[in-house]
């Protein structure tokens, strides 16, 4: 079983130095009755009031989900869902307004879309192939964030073995099922993998995390925090937001996915006007 904790982040502002007390973590594995086993380590935040953590279990012949209700603090076990067309998914990002969740599949196949309210799959007919000249279909290591306008930004990562420019931001419009490649001006950061992005209510995307070009493993988690201004939907701009001094160097992680991927699932799931943020950090 994949062990997992969650913590409510409602009311915590990115504009302050609020410290989240880890004693507020809720261990899902001790809430009983609970599922006998959870195979999925790619949970979805969704439901009618955006308060459910869903673990899709399509690894078996009959598709089902184990759902944890964060309001009632209880499990719904073996809930039937539409049979999935895939067995495994990447990190999900979800829209609080529509209840739909999105997982990037590949450059050729675009995104998988799951309706977390009706527990049904939605067909996407688009893909971003036209924006890539690399023959590889594999796009990994990116961080994703959904804006309040329904657009999902895929930032950084690699296509095959080629580093994706931070000035080129792959964008999926969930309202129109279309793709664009936004060109961001300003002082773009070096290439990133295993990083974190979050959105704010005033049209900013904040980025922190591993610098792929850094040769010293002890400096992968660098001190620079970058801001991407997306307040103008036609003109994005990078700038350095902050540079902080850490008290100790952080050893790089050796497993994938890592904690930064977990943060992508929790803080960026609902965009800037989310009713309730739920932090979920799988442990494996």
Higher per-residue confidence, 196 vs 223:
196
Predicted local distance difference test score (pLDDT) of residue 248: 44
Strands 278-283 and 236-243: unpaired
The predicted-structure confidence for 4-48, as pLDDT tens digits, reads as follows 667 766 666 656 666 767 666 778 878 889 888 777 778 999 999
User: Within a domain: residue 263?
Assistant: yes
The predicted-structure confidence for 152-183, as pLDDT tens digits, reads as follows 999 999 998 888 999 999 999 999 999 999 99
User: Within a domain: residue 265?
Assistant: yes
pLDDT at 68 exceeding the cut of 90: yes
- Whole-model pTM? 0.79
User: Within a domain: residue 53?
Assistant: yes
Strands 224-229 and 204-211: antiparallel
The maximal CA–CA distance of the chain, rounded, in angstroms, is: 52
Helix ranges, the chain (H): 259-267
Question: How many angstroms separate the Cα of 55 from the Cα of each of 33, 41, 117, 159?
Answer: 16, 8, 14, 28
Question: How many angstroms separate the Cα of 267 from the Cα of each of 41, 42, 155, 248?
Answer: 17, 14, 15, 25
User: Within a domain: residue 123?
Assistant: yes
Range of the domain at 33: 3-271
User: Within a domain: residue 30?
Assistant: yes
User: Within a domain: residue 280?
Assistant: no
Residue 254's CB is within 10 A of a number of other CB atoms, namely 7
- Between CA 3 and CA 90 the distance in angstroms is 18
Helix (H, G, I), strand (E, B) or coil at 188: coil
- Between CA 133 and CA 215 the distance in angstroms is 27
Mean of all residue pLDDT scores within the chain: 78
The band of 279, judged by pLDDT with boundaries at 50, 70 and 90, is: very low
pLDDT at 50 exceeding the cut of 60: yes
Residue 259's CB is within 10 A of a number of other CB atoms, namely 15
User: Within a domain: residue 145?
Assistant: yes
- Tokens 């999925």 belong to residue: 40
Backbone angles phi, psi at 268, to 5 degrees: -105, 10
Predicted local distance difference test score (pLDDT) of residue 59: 61
Through-space distance between the first and last CA atoms of the chain, rounded to whole angstroms: 9
Helix (H, G, I), strand (E, B) or coil at 279: strand
Predicted local distance difference test score (pLDDT) of residue 249: 43
pLDDT at 196 exceeding the cut of 70: yes
User: Within a domain: residue 284?
Assistant: no
Burial class from Cβ neighbours inside 10 Å (0-12, 13-18, 19+) for residue 50 reads buried
Number of domains in the chain: 1
Predicted local distance difference test score (pLDDT) of residue 211: 60
pLDDT at 130 exceeding the cut of 90: yes
Greatest mean pLDDT among 88-92, 157-161, 171-175, 277-281 lies in 171-175
The CATH number given to whatever domain includes residue 166 is 2.120.10
- Between CA 148 and CA 268 the distance in angstroms is 11
């Amino acid at each position: 079983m994949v062990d997992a904790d969650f913590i409510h982040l409602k009311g915590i502002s990115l504009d302050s130095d609020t410290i989240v007390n880890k004693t507020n973590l809720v261990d899902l594995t001790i809430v009983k009755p609970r599922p006998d086993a959870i195979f999925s380590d790619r949970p979805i935040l969704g439901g009618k009031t955006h308060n459910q953590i869903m673990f899709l279990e399509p690894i078996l012949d009959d598709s089902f989900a184990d759902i944890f209700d964060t309001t009632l603090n209880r499990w719904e076990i073996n809930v039937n869902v539409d049979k999935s067309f895939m067995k495994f998914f990447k990190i999900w990002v979800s829209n609080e307004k529509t209840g739909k969740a999105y997982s990037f599949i590949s450059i050729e196949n675009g995104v998988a879309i799951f309706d977390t309210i009706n527990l049904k799959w939605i067909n996407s007919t688009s893909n971003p192939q036209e924006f890539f000249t690399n023959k590889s279909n594999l796009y990994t290591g990116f961080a994703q964030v959904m804006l309040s306008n329904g657009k999902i930004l895929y930032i950084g990562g690699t296509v095959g073995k080629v580093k994706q420019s931070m000035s080129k931001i792959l964008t999926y419009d969930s309202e129109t099922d279309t793709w664009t490649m936004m060109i961001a001006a300003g002082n773009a950061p070096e290439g990133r993998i295993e990083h974190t992005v979050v959105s704010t209510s005033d049209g900013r995307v904040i980025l922190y995390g591993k610098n792929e070009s850094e040769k010293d493993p002890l400096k992968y988690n660098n001190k620079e925090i970058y801001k991407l201004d997306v307040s103008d939907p036609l003109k994005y701009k990078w700038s350095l937001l902050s540079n902080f001094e850490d008290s100790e160097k952080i050893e790089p992680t050796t497993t994938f996915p890592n904690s930064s991927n977990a943060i992508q699932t929790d803080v960026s799931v609902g965009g800037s006007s989310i009713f309730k943020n739920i932090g979920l950090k799988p442990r494996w």
